[in-house]
């Protein structure tokens, strides 16, 4: 990471919509916090809960999963499965002491650069409020 | 019928083996402490005399069907255990026509520990909504009052008191609680080995590429192990409680499974193993749903 | 007249050792589970603990251990070994566990010795506790020791009214006792209990004769092939070693493993030569009763502590296996041959 202090966010962005949306935020010079490390995946449905849990174990303070809006998934259904998976993973992690606010699922389309920057900014603020996770990597 | 349940099991097993309808009958026999029980695999009619049935018969014997996939096998199943059969048939791990389920009704089992006089009823039996096995080829009724008497097959869930108590604590308290539990874990994988839902040829924890967990035995790795295993059972855990029973260091694993069971029931009105047809939650989706839970 | 240490005297002695900087590893309750752990003060020791779930091998041969780390610093590589440079006292060893330490020494101190084990072993004094009762699973006398056996210990304590009889069994033990308030007292030595005695003299020969017997498959039917028996055992020592790198640091980690584990015998390419349940189960007992005595000239790799009997979720009972090997061996030998 190297950059600044502040919460470390890992972002899994689907290639077709949210990654493009993040890219648009960049090209349109919309600023958002630099603490997010973006990992491009083909689809939000590809995000294995292991990736999320491992991110937390390796020191992430927050994990963002972003995909196409339901109905617009490039692979038709991937984000529907992601939505179900997420709806069960979040309460499980919360139960284990990883607060539910630390895991976010957002729908960001390829033209929603502003939305992306707003999402990361508000996520950063939320995580600052929560404080860092205990590092036990 | 004058014969008690034990005699009925022995008679049925003798009948099945003599007729060569099955190669093996899996039931319970007395353990070496003279107090608790252990699984018995009977291959001949003579061996069936060793079968017993009482409230120390805690093991989920249906798990052993995964070791005998193509071999005709009879297995004694309590109501909770019987859900295993539906689960494994649906997931195409066993063939229904190779299984002869000797279903037994169940007044509840005890916390059975080797060498200790079995007295304390298992808490999960007190919230169990099942009167009878959900699938069976032959039914044997066991007399006895259940801790919380029911009046039918599907009971409204009376809740998971232990899990709810933990959920009501603060995030920090929950973190500390689980940190203490995971510190004790020795990664013996007894929880995985005993679980009928864990049958991956290579478990994620044994994968080298990528190395999700590795061989280090430490709280951080142990947490990844337990959380992901629980998640892999989301919508699949049939609540036999065996994982918690076999843990040599007493980690209350069912708390994790109960949390997900409650979520799955609340969000999808689904309980696994009740029938082999209904699709589990991760196998399907609705176009409009769960936006509030995001 | 015997040497006597009061209960309070014992606690003061151990607290004194802790204050001098020694690590005292003793049975203690961890969330209600009895385990050997370093204790910050003697009051946390469960002095009346009948048996811990895991054996004291955890201290000398840790469950998960960084053998060394390598760090890239200023263009150079810095190697740091996972050494132990303190002093330790392993307290509360029943004779079965003392025998367990000795049986771990046999392979791990054999030339070339495991350096990290040897270091911990040399820096650790063994203080034993004689047994006043047996548990139903105990069978230590079948394995060459007994409830009051001081062999392999530095100090032996025998519980009596109000305290302990004290005997040093080595120079190390005598030196350790120097700071203890030992007094002379006329106390009767209690009669030790008498655990069951199984015939074990002929086990290696019987095992070899019964190696291909279908008995192993029958026992293995209910085996879950978890790691519990190997992990609670004082003498099982299989391990795995892997390297993990992250950023500028790499470390070599050694962790316990079990011959029962899935993938224990899996080789490159994915082939596993030992998938048969009977063969897998048999392996553990073959190590204990055949390979170990053959390789090291005699002792069986078992202490009769009974932990595996107590912890096995499906009641695979090593005593039943010993008894059955004897029974089957007699049956199979037949006419004319000398019975073992």
Give the pLDDT band (50/70/90) at residue A96.
very high
pLDDT at residue B151 greater than cutoff 50 = no
Give this prediction's pTM. Answer: 0.94
Taking an 8 Å cut-off on Cβ atoms, the answer to whether C221 and B217 are in contact is no
Q: Token digits for C229? A: 């028996």
Q: Hey, of B68, B69, B215, which one would you mutate to test binding to chain C, going by the most C CBs within 10 A of its CB?
A: B215
Identify all chain B residues contacting C320, using CB atoms and an 8 Å cutoff.
32
Instruction: Compute the distance between CA of residue B279 and CA of residue B282 in angstroms, rounded to an integer.
Output: 8
Taking an 8 Å cut-off on Cβ atoms, the answer to whether B203 and C262 are in contact is yes
Instruction: Compute the distance between CA of residue B200 and CA of residue B41 in angstroms, rounded to an integer.
Output: 24
Give the pLDDT band (50/70/90) at residue B153.
very low
Instruction: Compute the distance between CA of residue B6 and CA of residue B11 in angstroms, rounded to an integer.
Output: 9
pLDDT at residue C183 greater than cutoff 90 = yes
Instruction: Compute the distance between CA of residue A99 and CA of residue B258 in angstroms, rounded to an integer.
Output: 18
Per-residue pLDDT, C333: 56
Give the pLDDT band (50/70/90) at residue C21.
very high
Question: Which of B115, B180, B187 is facing C135, going by the closest CB pair?
Answer: B115
Identify all chain C residues contacting B36, using CB atoms and an 8 Å cutoff.
315
Q: Token digits for B282? A: 């991760």
**Chain C nearest-CA residue for B196:** C224
pLDDT at residue C206 greater than cutoff 60 = yes
Give the pLDDT band (50/70/90) at residue B131.
confident
Per-residue pLDDT, C338: 40
Per-residue pLDDT, B208: 87
Identify all chain B residues contacting A99, using CB atoms and an 8 Å cutoff.
171
List the one residue out of C65, C49, C56 whose CA is nearest residue C96: C56
CA distances from A101 to A87, B100, C286 (A): 13, 48, 53
Q: Where are the beta strands (DSSP E) in A1-137?
A: 9-14, 36-41, 62-67, 103-107
Residue A106: exposed, middle, or buried by beta-carbon count in 10 A (0-12, 13-18, 19+)?
A: buried
Name the neighbours of A, counting chains with at least 3 Cβ pairs within 8 A.
Answer: B
Q: Is A29 left (phi over 0), alpha (psi -120 to 50) or beta?
A: left
Taking an 8 Å cut-off on Cβ atoms, the answer to whether B166 and A99 are in contact is no
pLDDT tens-digit readout, B168-225: 999 999 999 999 999 999 999 999 999 999 999 999 999 988 999 999 999 999 999 9
Give yes or no for a contact between A62 and A104, defined as CB atoms under 8 angstroms apart: yes
Give yes or no for a contact between C95 and C108, defined as CB atoms under 8 angstroms apart: no
Q: Where are the alpha helices (DSSP H) in C27-150?
A: 57-60, 95-108, 115-122
pLDDT at residue C335 greater than cutoff 60 = no
Instruction: Compute the distance between CA of residue C234 and CA of residue B122 in angstroms, rounded to an integer.
Output: 31
C76-81 and C163-168: which strand pairing?
unpaired
Taking an 8 Å cut-off on Cβ atoms, the answer to whether B175 and A96 are in contact is yes
Identify all chain B residues contacting C136, using CB atoms and an 8 Å cutoff.
33, 115
Instruction: Compute the distance between CA of residue A90 and CA of residue A96 in angstroms, rounded to an integer.
Output: 10
pLDDT at residue B9 greater than cutoff 70 = yes
Instruction: Compute the distance between CA of residue A119 and CA of residue B292 in angstroms, rounded to an integer.
Output: 17
Residue B108: exposed, middle, or buried by beta-carbon count in 10 A (0-12, 13-18, 19+)?
A: middle
Residue C32 backbone dihedrals phi, psi, to 5 degrees: 85, -5
Q: Which residues pair with A84 in a beta bridge?
A: none
Give yes or no for a contact between B35 and B115, defined as CB atoms under 8 angstroms apart: yes
User: Would an 8 Å CB–CB cutoff place C83 in contact with chain B?
Assistant: no
Instruction: Compute the distance between CA of residue A52 and CA of residue A41 in angstroms, rounded to an integer.
Output: 13
Q: What is the mean pLDDT of chain C?
A: 94
Residues ≥6 apart with Cβ < 8 Å to B254: B124, B239, B241, B243, B244
Residue C129: exposed, middle, or buried by beta-carbon count in 10 A (0-12, 13-18, 19+)?
A: buried
Question: What is the Rg, in whole angstroms, of the alpha carbon atoms belonging to chain B?
Answer: 20
> In angstroms, how far is the first alpha carbon of chain B from the final one?
56
Q: What is the mean pLDDT of chain B?
A: 92
Instruction: Compute the distance between CA of residue C5 and CA of residue C168 in angstroms, rounded to an integer.
Output: 12
Other CB atoms within 10 Å distance of the CB of residue A117:
22
Q: Long-range pairs for B125-129 at CB < 8 Å and ≥24 separation?
A: B127/B157, B127/B158, B127/B159, B127/B160, B127/B161, B128/B79, B128/B80, B128/B239, B129/B154, B129/B155, B129/B156, B129/B157, B129/B158
Per-residue pLDDT, A135: 52
Instruction: Compute the distance between CA of residue B109 and CA of residue B126 in angstroms, rounded to an integer.
Output: 10
Other CB atoms within 10 Å distance of the CB of residue B209:
5
Per-residue pLDDT, C334: 46
User: Would an 8 Å CB–CB cutoff place B205 in contact with chain A?
Assistant: no
Instruction: Compute the distance between CA of residue A7 and CA of residue B188 in angstroms, rounded to an integer.
Output: 35
Q: What is the mean pLDDT of chain A?
A: 93
The pLDDT of C97-103, averaged and rounded, is 98
User: Would an 8 Å CB–CB cutoff place B25 in contact with chain A?
Assistant: no
Give the pLDDT band (50/70/90) at residue B101.
very high
Q: How close does chain A come to B167, measured CA to CA in Å? A: 6
Taking an 8 Å cut-off on Cβ atoms, the answer to whether C222 and B39 are in contact is yes
Residue B155: exposed, middle, or buried by beta-carbon count in 10 A (0-12, 13-18, 19+)?
A: middle
Q: Is B16 left (phi over 0), alpha (psi -120 to 50) or beta?
A: alpha
Instruction: Compute the distance between CA of residue B285 and CA of residue A75 in angstroms, rounded to an integer.
Output: 14
Taking an 8 Å cut-off on Cβ atoms, the answer to whether B194 and C226 are in contact is yes
User: Would an 8 Å CB–CB cutoff place B11 in contact with chain A?
Assistant: no
3 state SS for B214-250: CCCCCHHHHHHHHHHHHHHCCCCCCCCCHHHHHCCCC
pLDDT at residue A13 greater than cutoff 70 = yes
**Chain C nearest-CA residue for B213:** C244
pLDDT at residue B118 greater than cutoff 60 = yes
List the one residue out of B77, B130, B83 whose CA is nearest residue B104: B77
Identify all chain A residues contacting B256, using CB atoms and an 8 Å cutoff.
92, 95-96
Residues above pLDDT 70, as percent of chain C: 97
Q: What is the ipTM of this complex?
A: 0.94
Identify all chain B residues contacting A90, using CB atoms and an 8 Å cutoff.
293
pLDDT at residue B149 greater than cutoff 80 = no
- What's the DSSP call for residue C266? -
């Amino acid at each position: 990471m190297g950059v600044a202090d502040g919460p470390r966010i890992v972002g899994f962005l689907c290639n077709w919509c949210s990654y493009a949306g993040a890219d648009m935020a960049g090209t349109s010079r919309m600023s958002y916090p630099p603490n997010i490390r973006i990992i491009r995946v083909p689809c939000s449905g590809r995000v294995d809960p292991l990736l999320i849990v491992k991110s937390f174990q390796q020191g992430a303070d927050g994990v963002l999963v972003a995909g196409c809006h339901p109905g617009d998934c490039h692979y038709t259904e991937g984000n529907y499965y992601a939505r179900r998976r997420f709806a069960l993973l979040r309460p499980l992690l919360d139960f284990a002491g990883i607060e539910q606010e630390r895991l976010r699922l957002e729908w960001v389309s390829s033209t929603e650069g502003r939305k992306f920057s707003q999402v990361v900014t508000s996520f950063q603020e939320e995580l600052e409020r929560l404080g860092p996770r205990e590092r036990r990597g | 019928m004058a014969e008690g349940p034990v005699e009925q099991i022995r008679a049925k097993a003798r009948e099945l083996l003599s007729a060569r309808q099955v190669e093996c009958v899996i039931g319970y026999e007395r353990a070496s402490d003279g107090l608790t029980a252990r699984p018995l695999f009977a291959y001949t009619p003579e061996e069936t005399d060793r079968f017993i049935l009482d409230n120390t018969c805690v093991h989920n014997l249906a798990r052993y069907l995964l070791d005998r996939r193509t071999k005709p096998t009879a297995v004694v199943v309590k109501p909770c255990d019987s859900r295993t059969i539906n689960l494994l048939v649906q997931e195409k791990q066993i063939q229904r026509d190779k299984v002869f389920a000797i279903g037994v009704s169940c007044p509840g089992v005890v916390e059975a520990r080797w060498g200790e006089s079995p007295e304390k009823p298992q808490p999960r039996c007190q919230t169990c909504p099942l009167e009878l096995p959900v699938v069976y080829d032959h039914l044997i009724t066991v007399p006895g009052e259940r801790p919380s008497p029911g009046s039918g097959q599907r009971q409204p869930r009376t809740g998971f008191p232990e899990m709810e108590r933990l959920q009501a604590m603060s995030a920090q308290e929950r973190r500390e609680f689980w940190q203490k539990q995971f510190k004790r874990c020795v990664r013996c994988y007894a929880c995985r080995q005993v679980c009928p839902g864990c049958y991956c040829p290579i478990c994620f924890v044994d994968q080298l590429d990528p190395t999700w967990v590795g061989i280090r035995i430490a709280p951080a790795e142990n947490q990844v192990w337990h959380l992901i295993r629980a998640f892999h059972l989301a919508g699949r855990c049939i609540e036999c409680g065996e994982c918690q029973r076999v843990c040599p260091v007493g980690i209350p694993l069912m708390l994790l499974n109960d949390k997900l069971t409650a979520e799955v029931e609340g969000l999808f009105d689904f309980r696994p193993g009740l029938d082999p047809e209904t699709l589990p939650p991760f196998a399907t989706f609705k176009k409009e749903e769960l936006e509030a839970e995001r | 007249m015997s040497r006597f240490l009061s209960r309070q005297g014992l606690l003061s002695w151990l607290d004194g050792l802790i204050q001098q900087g020694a690590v005292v590893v003793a049975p203690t309750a961890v969330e209600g589970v009895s385990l050997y752990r370093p204790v910050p003060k003697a009051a946390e020791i469960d002095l009346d603990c009948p048996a811990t779930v895991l054996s004291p091998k955890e201290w000398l041969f840790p469950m998960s251990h960084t053998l060394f780390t390598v760090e890239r610093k200023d263009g150079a590589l810095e190697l740091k070994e996972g050494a132990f440079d303190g002093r330790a006292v392993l307290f509360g060893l029943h004779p079965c566990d003392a025998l367990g330490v000795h049986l771990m020494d046999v392979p791990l101190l054999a030339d070339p010795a495991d350096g990290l084990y040897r270091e911990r072993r040399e820096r650790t004094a063994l203080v034993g506790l004689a047994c006043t009762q047996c548990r139903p699973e105990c069978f230590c006398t079948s394995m060459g020791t007994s409830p009051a056996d001081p062999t392999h210990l530095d100090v032996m304590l025998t519980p009596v009214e109000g305290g302990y009889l004290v005997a040093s069994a080595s120079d190390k033990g005598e030196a350790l006792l120097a700071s203890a308030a030992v007094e002379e007292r006329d106390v009767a030595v209690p009669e030790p209990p008498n655990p069951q005695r199984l015939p074990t003299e002929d086990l290696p020969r019987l095992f070899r004769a019964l190696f291909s017997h279908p008995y192993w498959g029958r026992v293995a039917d209910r085996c879950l092939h978890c790691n519990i028996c190997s992990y609670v055992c004082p003498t099982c020592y299989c391990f795995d070693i892997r390297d993990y790198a992250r950023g500028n640091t790499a470390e070599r980690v050694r962790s316990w493993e079990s011959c029962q584990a899935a993938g224990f015998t899996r080789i490159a390419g994915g082939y596993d030569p030992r998938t048969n349940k009977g063969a897998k189960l048999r392996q553990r007992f073959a190590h204990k009763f055949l390979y170990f005595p053959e390789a090291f000239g005699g002792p069986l790799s078992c202490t009769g502590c009974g932990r595996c009997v107590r912890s096995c979720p499906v009641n695979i009972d090593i005593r039943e296996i010993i008894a059955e090997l004897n029974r089957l061996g007699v049956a199979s030998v037949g006419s004319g041959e000398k019975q073992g």
